[in-house]
């Protein structure tokens, strides 16, 4: 099963999906509208941050903006009474990162189906493994498995992959060549003692010690779970909710953010300053919050009714 057999062009957006997990016209249009909403949220957030950079007194900054930045980037540590250098630099960096995400999403960009890709990869890996085992058994003169054995193994693999893929909201994976370079860099740091094993999951691509510098070209397409975010049942996710997911994944690709903590988790309020500035969910929730002047604390707050009630 090919991972992404078909692609549809909608303006600057290329939509990729598997021939086994197609999306219809209405779902394609919903994805386009969600991308446009992501543009709007980012643009409005940038304007709001630009407008407060000239303030020299914290009291001049709107309280709603303070609450949003405090919750998503300054981790509920309160706001300085006087605008200090760190605050100015942090706001400027947040604005630059929002701008990078917006520029990336306004350029020709591809969004693929994580559900179809995940299942397709599992199928392909199982097929290769089965063929290798078959050749080994033939070489050793052992009885080869039958076609029914092969078919049953594939079915079990696909069913397991489908169940696992349902829970994935999206991802952006490094390209194969990038993964190899990262593995080599990590191995070098392990050998030199610069990177402890417990830090492996938080390996940062922005640190000066990093031997490999990543750019957006080093990552593949943005992947969203089309089955989950574009479904058309009684309670489909709102376009704002999809826009949040797009911004989250785009921040990985265009800014190099990490998933240090998700909004709604206990660890979210405990991120340090550096982690918060490189946390994907911080940007994904702060953008619609700043754009609509309303503190959305997690994805559950991004309902269609709440969003449009503030228009």
Q: What is the pLDDT of residue 305?
A: 44
Looking at residues 168-175, what average pLDDT do you find? 76
Residue 168's SS3 state is: coil
Looking at residues 164-187, what average pLDDT do you find? 65
**Model confidence pLDDT, tens digit, residues 220-249:** 789 998 988 887 677 778 899 999 999 999
Q: Which fold has domain 6-173+219-309?
A: Collagenase (Catalytic Domain) (3.40.390)
Q: What is the pLDDT of residue 151?
A: 72
- CA-based angle 226:231:237, to the nearest 5? 95
**Model confidence pLDDT, tens digit, residues 176-197:** 666 565 555 544 443 444 444 3
Q: What is the pLDDT of residue 191?
A: 41
Between these two residues, 1 and 165, which has the higher pLDDT value?
165
Residue 5 to residue 28: CA distance in whole angstroms: 16
Q: Give strand pairing partners of 6.
A: 17
CB 108 within 8 A of CB 217: no
CB 237 within 8 A of CB 229: yes
**Whether the predicted model's global pTM rises above the 0.85 cut:** no
Residue 263's SS3 state is: coil
Query: 12-21, 94-103, 122-131 — which is least confidently predicted?
Result: 122-131
Q: Where in the chain is the domain with CATH 3.40.390.10?
A: 6-173+219-309
* Average pLDDT taken over every residue of the chain: 77
**Model confidence pLDDT, tens digit, residues 284-304:** 999 999 999 999 998 877 765
CB 120 within 8 A of CB 1: yes
CB 285 within 8 A of CB 262: no
For residue 13, pLDDT over 80 is answered with: yes
Residue 262 to residue 265: CA distance in whole angstroms: 6
Between these two residues, 30 and 136, which has the higher pLDDT value?
30
Q: What is the pLDDT of residue 25?
A: 92
Residue 8 to residue 193: CA distance in whole angstroms: 47
């Amino acid at each position: 099963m090919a991972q992404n057999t078909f692609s549809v062009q909608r303006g600057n957006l290329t939509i990729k999906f598997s021939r086994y997990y197609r999306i219809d016209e209405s779902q394609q249009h919903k994805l386009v509208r969600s991308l446009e909403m992501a543009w709007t949220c980012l643009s409005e957030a940038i304007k709001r941050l630009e407008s407060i950079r000239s303030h020299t007194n914290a009291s001049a900054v709107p309280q709603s903006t303070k609450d949003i930045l405090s919750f998503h980037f300054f981790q509920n540590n309160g706001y300085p009474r006087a605008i200090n250098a760190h605050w100015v630099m942090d706001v400027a960096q947040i604005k630059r990162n929002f701008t990078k995400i917006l520029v990336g999403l306004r350029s020709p960009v591809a969004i693929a189906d994580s559900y179809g890709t995940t299942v397709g990869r599992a199928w392909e890996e199982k097929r290769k493994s089965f063929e290798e085992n078959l050749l080994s058994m033939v070489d050793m003169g052992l009885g080869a498995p039958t076609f029914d054995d092969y078919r049953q193994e594939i079915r079990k693999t696909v069913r397991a992959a489908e169940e696992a893929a349902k829970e994935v909201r999206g991802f952006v994976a490094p390209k194969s060549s990038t993964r190899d370079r990262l593995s080599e860099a990590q191995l070098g740091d392990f050998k030199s003692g610069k990177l402890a094993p417990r830090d492996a999951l938080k390996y940062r691509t922005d640190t000066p010690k990093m031997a490999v510098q990543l750019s957006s070209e080093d990552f593949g397409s943005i992947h969203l779970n089309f089955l989950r975010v574009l479904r058309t049942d009684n309670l489909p996710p709102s376009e704002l909710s999809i826009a949040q997911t797009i911004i989250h994944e785009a921040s990985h690709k265009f800014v190099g953010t990490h998933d240090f903590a998700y909004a709604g988790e206990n660890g979210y309020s405990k991120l340090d300053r550096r982690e918060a500035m490189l946390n994907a969910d911080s940007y994904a929730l702060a953008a619609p919050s700043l754009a609509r002047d309303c503190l959305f604390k997690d994805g559950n707050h991004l309902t269609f009714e709440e969003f449009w009630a503030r228009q």
